[in-house]
Amino acid sequence: MIPLDLPDVKESVKIAVDFLKEILEESGADGFVVGLSGGLDSSVVALLLEKGDIPFAGVFLPEGEPSVEDQKSLKALESRIGRSVRQYNIEEPKNAIMRRVAPDKFGTMVEGNLSARMRMCYLYTIANSENLLVAGTSNKSEILIGYFTKWGDGAADIYPIGDLFKTQVYRLAKQLDVPEEIIKRPPTAGLLPGQTDEKEIGMSYEVLDRILYGLILGYDPHRISEEVGVPDEKVFRIMEMIRRSRHKRMGLLIPKMGPETIGLDFHERW
């Protein structure tokens, strides 16, 4: 079976925290701003910052009325990090753009991408005005297959968990004592009603991560399909997603925690 365990969870926390401190010192910034959704990845990034006693502002950017689940998760996170999370609603400015820029051409993907870019505009405005850096929340699984919005959630200054597969982020979350209600929530980008990551990707993160790690280890696609227990076509589809999203992975700043780190020594060979 293709392994996915973190060799040392405590060491991974230390690497991420040390990297955050190093980048902060080099930049001359006063801290970080991180977009919080009530989901796993952003909560892990917030708790890495809290663990390292690194100054940061947490910002929640809902579109319209926040869901009950979002509000419960954010309250649990606020209690865990010991600080309030700022909140700004992006619905009105986003709708203003949609009304003025070819509104008849807006499909669901375009609308979702606009939401992601609006959120990053808010984060960078806060960062610029308060001398902060933007801490991104994407993980290695999302980055490799292009499951992020270019110049949206793919526009941050640093990605503390960018070298960890989603299944590894879950293990890190337990080490950081992320609230259980957040760990149990189905992963979602929060851009479209009823959307979940695994439904959109077409497979569970457990399967996706084993395929990705098998490819990084240089395994033959047929061997990967046998070890993971999926048809060859699913492996080839993931390889194609990596190829098609290559343009999105330029200039990401990620601490090295595993083999072939994106932006450092990942070989674009599929």
Backbone angles phi, psi at 178, to 5 degrees: -65, 135
Indicate whether 49 belongs to any domain. Answer: yes
Residue 104 pLDDT > 90, yes or no?
no
Task: Please report where in the chains the tokens 């980055």 appear, as a residue.
Answer: 143
Q: How many CA atoms lie within 13 A of 148 on its CB side?
A: 28
Number of domains in the chain: 1
- Rounded to the nearest integer, the mean pLDDT of the chain is 91
Indicate whether 263 belongs to any domain. Answer: no
Indicate whether 258 belongs to any domain. Answer: no
The verdict on whether 69 is a catalytic residue reads no
Higher-confidence position of 262 and 103: 262
- Rounded Cα gap, residues 170 and 62, in angstroms: 24
Q: What is the pLDDT of residues 179-218, one digit of tens each?
A: 999 999 887 765 556 567 777 788 899 999 999 999 999 9
Indicate whether 43 belongs to any domain. Answer: yes
The verdict on whether 260 is a catalytic residue reads no
Among residues 50, 63, 70, 142, the one annotated as catalytic is: 142
166: number of Cβ within 10 Å: 24
Q: What is the pLDDT of residues 25-61, one digit of tens each?
A: 999 999 999 999 999 999 999 999 999 999 999 999 9
Indicate whether 182 belongs to any domain. Answer: yes
Indicate whether 259 belongs to any domain. Answer: no
Q: What is the pLDDT of residues 13-32, one digit of tens each?
A: 999 999 999 999 999 999 99
DSSP for the chain reads: ------S-HHHHHHHHHHHHHHHHHHHT-SEEEEE--SSHHHHHHHHHHHHTT--EEEEE--SSSPPHHHHHHHHHHHHHHTSPPEE---HHHHHHHHHHS-GGG--HHHHHHHHHHHHHHHHHHHHHHHTEEEBP---HHHHHHT-S-TTTTT--SB-TTTTS-HHHHHHHHHHTT--HHHHTSPP--SSSTT--HHHHHTS-HHHHHHHHHHHHTT--HHHHHHHHT--HHHHHHHHHHHHHTGGGGSS------SSS-TTTT-----
Reported pTM: 0.90
Identify the CATH number of the domain in which residue 103 sits: 3.40.50.620
pLDDT of residue 43: 97
Indicate whether 260 belongs to any domain. Answer: no
Name the strands in the sheet holding 86-87, side by side, starting at the edge strand that comes first in the sequence.
86-87, 56-60, 31-35, 132-134
* Structural domain harbouring 56: 9-249
Residue 75 pLDDT > 80, yes or no?
yes
pLDDT of residue 47: 98
